[in-house]
Amino acid sequence: MHWYLATGDSYRTIAFSYRVGHATVAVIVREVAGAIWTALVEETMPVPQTEDWRAIAAGFQDRWNFPNCVGAIDGKHVVIQAPANSGSLYFNYKSTHSLVLLAVVDAQYLFRVVDVGGFGRSSDSGSLRNSAFGESLRDGSLQLPRDTVIPEAERLGLLPHVFVGDEAFPLLDNMLRPFPGRHLTRKKRIFNYRLSRARLVVECAFGILSSQWRMFRRVITTSPEVTELCVKATCVLHNFLRRKTIGRTSRTPIAVHG
């Protein structure tokens, strides 16, 4: 299983290396990926509560100088072989077929929320709209902290806690995106710079994920259901390894939960 995630080799190549049938490899990959997700999700990616969101916001304030931010959000296209009879459902704007990994990442590059399985033809905003996270964001059931005053900006009054995303995401009460256009005032350019600086943590997290689990650098030939399980497994393994690394190298403990 680790060989498949770490290299992305085909079932037949792995079967030849270990002298087993490729059907056996297929069963092992599916069952072990599901077992990894089930065993680690509560420990490494539990559902954030109010105090957890508050700790994430403190991390963005301290590390990236962006207040009231409870996560950076973005979508990653996981390239797959076109499933049979799928038409254009998985065909994306990059002219490949893919599943969408929609993720919310904290200031330490940890995945806090993931939604896997969106069709490649969907935009990031469409994937958000169709996800359970997006539904919770719209109906206000995420248990985000109460609106607070930003230090040195008391004149603005109470401001909500927000997720930050790129131009593909909608502007909502709890979602910020950059100001559009090129001819912006100095204040708007500074805001876009600060927002992009905070948002890049999710891009970095995807980069770390792809460098650790090189299945993301190949065309995945398994079924969408198995691919979804494998992507979820790599996300919780990423968190497991990151927390171990942070625990060894950080001088002060990171505010985590679980």
Assigned token pair, 228 = 């979804």
The predicted structure's pLDDT at residue 243: 87
The predicted structure's pLDDT at residue 247: 61
> Beta-carbon neighbour count of residue 94 at 10 Å?
10
Number of H helices, E strands in the chain: 8, 7
For residue 164, the cross-strand partners are 72, 176
Mean pLDDT for the stretch of residues 218-241: 95
Are the C-beta atoms of 165 and 74 separated by less than 8 Å?
Answer: yes
pLDDT in tens, 12-42: 888 888 889 989 999 999 999 999 999 999 9
**Closest listed residue to residue 11, CA positions, set 230, 211, 233:** 230
Torsion over CA: 159, 162, 164, 168 (sign): negative
At 240, which amino acid appears? F
**Closest listed residue to residue 197, CA positions, set 101, 67, 96, 48:** 67
Mean pLDDT for the stretch of residues 183-188: 92
Residue 248: band (very low, low, confident or very high) from pLDDT cuts 50, 70, 90? low
Quick one: which H or E segment has residue 236?
helix 224-249
pLDDT in tens, 67-123: 999 999 999 999 999 998 888 999 998 899 999 999 999 999 999 999 998 899 988
For residue 98, the cross-strand partners are 79
Are the C-beta atoms of 174 and 137 separated by less than 8 Å?
Answer: yes
Residue 252: band (very low, low, confident or very high) from pLDDT cuts 50, 70, 90? very low
Mean pLDDT for the stretch of residues 160-172: 94
